[in-house]
Structure 1
Amino acid sequence: MDPSKVSIFKTYDKPRGQGGSGSFATFMIIGPTCFFLGMLFSAFPYDYPLLWTSIPTPDAYYDQFEAHLKFLHASPPIIPRILNITISIGFTGFFIKLFKPSEANLLFDGASLLLYVVGVVVYITNIVKGLRIVTSGFYGQPESDTEIAIGREDSLRVLAASNTILALVLVGVLVLQAGQWYAERKEQDEVAKYEKQQEEKSAAKGTKNGGHVTRSASKKKQ
């Protein structure tokens, strides 16, 4: 292996003492991400007829979907608190991994944090706001001059589309974390392979030098 490549690998080395904390921080990121993906998957049966089928949706379905959303929004306060705590756990994991970051952290974890923030923004601006509108029942009334008034059916479709967008964003976070793990694993294999080659070259060189010393010593005795 070219020594210049080794210098590239060294730039991706983890800071001292961050191996265990980095693995735990990764778990703190993947855990909440999978948790929210599970919640979105449970809402997929309600979102599917609005977005992924060409069959006309009956009016009774909108009534059922609206009742389901009202029930979710009227859940006990412990439910949104758990969601907020779970979101905070994900941010804590990112902050731990980005403390004294390397180039690999800035590439993978930085992009993952950006997607995570986008997901939180979609959750607050679209999903939470949509639940409030459904609960109030005031469709087609913009809250400000810059907003466009949309009806009941379109509001429910926007809410379903927001769930899909959020799911794609969270999948992107998982893909980036998996990519970081693969890159680090590949780097370790390459460094181990290079070190093994260097040890074999050193051993071969030492054996060769030992052979020269033995021959010169035998000549002096003669």
Structure 2
Amino acid sequence: MAGNNFAQFLVVGPTCFFLGVLFAQLPYDYNVLWTQPTDRTTYYNILESHVQFLYASPPIISRILNLVIGTGLLGFLIKLFKPNQANMLFDGASLVLYMAGITVYLTNIVKGFRVITAGIYGDMDKAAPGEVSEEDVGDYISREDTLRVFAASNTILALVLVGVLVLQAGQWYAKRAEEKEIQEFERKAEEKKGAGKKKQ
């Protein structure tokens, strides 16, 4: 029981950590996605500067992020090591969402960091030699669309992580309800035993 609680902490902790990171990103993403189109140019510039600043962070920042991702995966591996029916339902679905979040992070957000920082966007001539392969050429879009996809990816990732938390909370609630039912059943069984002894 204690091991399962620790494994759940290993899942919930990193999920909350990344939600905090995405919440800090929200002021930039919100304005790019949901303000009037005529007002977005300023916000595009702000988001672009912010992304370039983040991309230039010391390597320890990306290493910490990778370590936190790995911690979440370790928590799922511990929880699914000896699965029961509840684990398979809740943790299996949570792991699928967590892996979907990692996919969004690697394919959209990390790639967005590189494109925005390099300033490539739709112009392949701006790319440094060897920076873009021939297969990647079709993936690059205009500056505005790139920034909007980046902001939308952060929002999608946040929703996916909220889904992980909801499933983990559901598992915790179901476990507590099951424990209460077992305690109630044991209490009634003890009362019946006591009543039977009195009759004798």
TM-score, with length taken from structure 2:
0.90
SS in 1 for 2:81: coil
Q: 1:179-210, CA deviations, whole angstroms, 9 ceiling, x for partnerless residues?
A: 000000000111111111111112112222x2
Judge conservation of contact 1:73–1:135 (CA < 8 Å) in 2. yes
> Post-superposition shift, 1:148?
5.1
**In structure 2, distance between residues paired with 1:145 and 1:64:** 26
Q: 1:131 aligns with which of 70, 88, 113?
A: 113
**In structure 2, distance between residues paired with 1:135 and 1:146:** 17
Q: Which residue of 1 aligns with 2:92?
A: 110
**In structure 1, distance between residues paired with 2:20 and 2:57:** 18
> Post-superposition shift, 1:98?
0.6
**In structure 2, distance between residues paired with 1:103 and 1:91:** 20
Structure 2 stretches of 5 or more lacking a match?
A: 125-133
**In structure 2, distance between residues paired with 1:203 and 1:145:** 75
**In structure 2, distance between residues paired with 1:27 and 1:80:** 22
Judge conservation of contact 2:32–2:43 (CA < 8 Å) in 1. no
**In structure 1, distance between residues paired with 2:26 and 2:47:** 12
Judge conservation of contact 1:50–1:57 (CA < 8 Å) in 2. no
> Post-superposition shift, 1:56?
2.6
Q: 1:68-126, CA deviations, whole angstroms, 9 ceiling, x for partnerless residues?
A: 10111111111100000000000001101111111111111111111110000100000
Task: Trace 1:30-49 onto structure 2 (pairs within 5 A).
Answer: 30-49=12-31
| Farther-moved stretch of structure 1 (80-89 vs 61-70) | 61-70
> Post-superposition shift, 1:57?
2.4
Structure 1 stretches of 5 or more lacking a match?
A: 1-18, 211-222
SS in 1 for 2:135: coil
Give 2:179's aligned amino acid.
Answer: Q
> Post-superposition shift, 1:146?
8.6
Give 1:189's aligned amino acid.
Answer: K
Q: Which residue of 1 aligns with 2:188?
A: 197
Higher helix share: 2
Judge conservation of contact 2:97–2:163 (CA < 8 Å) in 1. yes
**In structure 1, distance between residues paired with 2:136 and 2:114:** 19
**In structure 2, distance between residues paired with 1:60 and 1:52:** 13
> Post-superposition shift, 1:144?
2.7
Judge conservation of contact 1:130–1:159 (CA < 8 Å) in 2. yes
**In structure 2, distance between residues paired with 1:61 and 1:175:** 32
Q: Which residue of 1 aligns with 2:147?
A: 156
Runs of 4+ residues over 4 Å off in structure 1? none
- Tell me the matched-pair count: 191
Judge conservation of contact 2:122–2:140 (CA < 8 Å) in 1. yes
TM-score, with length taken from structure 1:
0.82
The answer on 1:66 being equivalent to 2:48 is yes
Paired-residue identity, %: 59
